[in-house]
Amino acid sequence: MGKRLWIIVLAFALVFALTLHADAQQAKRIVVATGGTGGVYYPYGGTLAEIINQKVPNVKATAEVTGASVENIRLVGKKDVTFALAMNDTVYQAYTGEGKFKGHKIDAIRTVFQMYPHVYHIVTLQKYPVKKLADLKGKKVSVGAPGSGTEYKTNLILPLLGIKYSDMKVYRLSFSENSTQLKDGIIDVGIWDVAPPTSSIIDLSTTHQLRFIPFTEEDVAKVVKTYPFYGRITLPKNTYKGQTEEILSVSVWNSVVCHKDTPDDLVYQVTKAVFENHKTLVNTHKIAEYTTPKASATNSPIPIHPGALKYYKEIGVVK
C-alpha cells in the first residue's frame, strides 16, 4: 500500500510540474518601459500593459518605472524590454546615430504607434524674477532627470538659444522632484517635457503661484529649422491653476517602440488591441485622444515595425 501511495504522489507531482511548465511556456512575459511616476508615461504605459494583459492571449505584461526616453531606447536596443515609450527626438537621433547617440547608433528600433505630442514646460514661482528664457542664466534649473527625454531636449534647445549649461546651476531631477524642490526653494526653475496637464505641476499649482516661461516666435522658428522633429505648440490658458494666458512652446511627438526582432504577430496583436480599446487609454489621460492609427501611420520619424504596419494596412490608413 505504501508503494502504491508513493507512486500516486509521484504521478500527481509530475502532472503538476508539467502543468506549471506548460503554463510558463504559454504565458510570454514582456516588459513595458515607461518613465517616472510624476509624468504621463507611467500611467499611460501602465494602461498599455493592462490592455495587453486583458486582450492579447498568452502574454503577461509588466510596466516598469524608468528614467524615460533615452534609457528606454537603450533598453530596447539591448532587448532588455519589449516595448518602451520615448520622445521622437530621442527615437530619431538614436536611429540615425546623432547627438548623444553619435558613435552608438541604435538602428534596430522600430515604432509601433504614435502616442501624443509633448509640450515643453519651463516652470518657476511667481515670486522669482524669471520671466523670459534669458533669465535662466545664473539660476538653479532642473533640466530633466538623467536619461530622460526632457533632459535630452533641454540639451538640444537651450544651447541653441544661447543658454549653455555652464550659464546655470544645473540639477537633474525627476518631475516629482521638480515639484518638491520648487516648493522647498531648492531650485528656481523646473523643466518638464510632458503631456499637459501633468500631475506633478497640478500638485505644485495647488499650493504655489506659478509662472510659465514662454518661447518667442523667433525662438520657435530657430528650433524647428534646426531640429525638424520639433514643432510649434501653445499651452492653452487655464491648463493649470492661475495660468491665465496661453504659453508659446515647442512640441515633440512620442512613440511606443520595440526592437525590429520583436515577433510580427505580437506587435500586430498589441497594435490591434490598443486601437480597439482606445477608450481605456483616454480614460487614463485625455491626451490619449491623440493616439490614432492615422497619426501613427504618418508621424513616425523612423520605420514602423512590420507587425504594426500590417494593422495599419488592414484598416486602410496605409495603402
pLDDT digits (tens, 9 = 90+) for 76-107: 999 999 999 999 999 999 999 998 899 999 99
With 50 as the cut, is the pLDDT of residue 9 above it?
no
In the Cβ-directed half-sphere of 113, how many Cα atoms lie within 13 Å? 25
User: Which domain range does residue 305 map to?
Assistant: 2-117+255-314
Cβ(93)–Cβ(101) below 8 Å:
yes
Sign of the dihedral through C-alpha 310, 315, 318, 319: positive
Counting the structural domains of the chain, the total is 2
Residue 235 within any structural domain of the chain: yes
Q: Are residues 247 and 143 in the same domain?
A: yes
- Note the pLDDT of residue 10: 54
Per-residue model confidence as pLDDT tens digits over 141-171: 999 999 898 999 999 999 999 999 999 999 9
pLDDT at 18: 46
Domain shared by 68 and 146, yes or no: no
Which of these three, 252, 269, 287, is where a domain ends?
A: 252
Say which residue, 80 or 16, is predicted with more confidence. Answer: 80
Spatial distance between the Cα atoms of 256 and 114, rounded to a whole number of angstroms: 6
SS3 of residue 108 by DSSP: coil
Residues 109 and 90 occupy one common structural domain: yes
On the question of pLDDT at 19 being above 50, the answer is no
Which of 252, 282, 304 corresponds to the end of one domain?
252
Is the predicted pLDDT of residue 183 greater than 60, yes or no?
A: yes
What's the chain's average pLDDT? Answer: 93
pLDDT at 23 over 60: no
Q: How confident is the model at residue 14 (pLDDT cuts 50, 70, 90)?
A: low
CA-wise closest residue to 151 among 177, 128, 173: 173
Q: Are residues 155 and 70 in the same domain?
A: no
Final residue belonging to a domain, choices 228, 252, 276: 252
Same domain, 98 and 167: no
- Where is average pLDDT lowest: 66-70, 110-114, 303-307? 66-70
Query: What is the reported pTM?
Result: 0.81
Instruction: Look at residue 205 and tell me if it is in a domain.
Output: yes
pLDDT at 22: 44
Predicted confidence at residue 15, as pLDDT, reads: 45
Whether the predicted pLDDT of 216 surpasses 70: yes
CATH of the domain at 134: 3.40.190.10
Whether the pLDDT of residue 184 is over 90: the answer is yes
Poorest-confidence range of 25-29, 127-131, 139-143?
Answer: 25-29
User: Across residues 15-31, what is the average pLDDT?
Assistant: 62
Backbone angles phi, psi at 49, to 5 degrees: -60, -40
Tell me the pLDDT tens digit for each residue of 227-277. 989 999 999 999 999 999 999 999 999 999 999 999 999 999 999 999 999
Residues 131 and 185 in one domain: yes
The verdict on 21 and 57 lying in the same domain is yes
pLDDT for res 53: 98
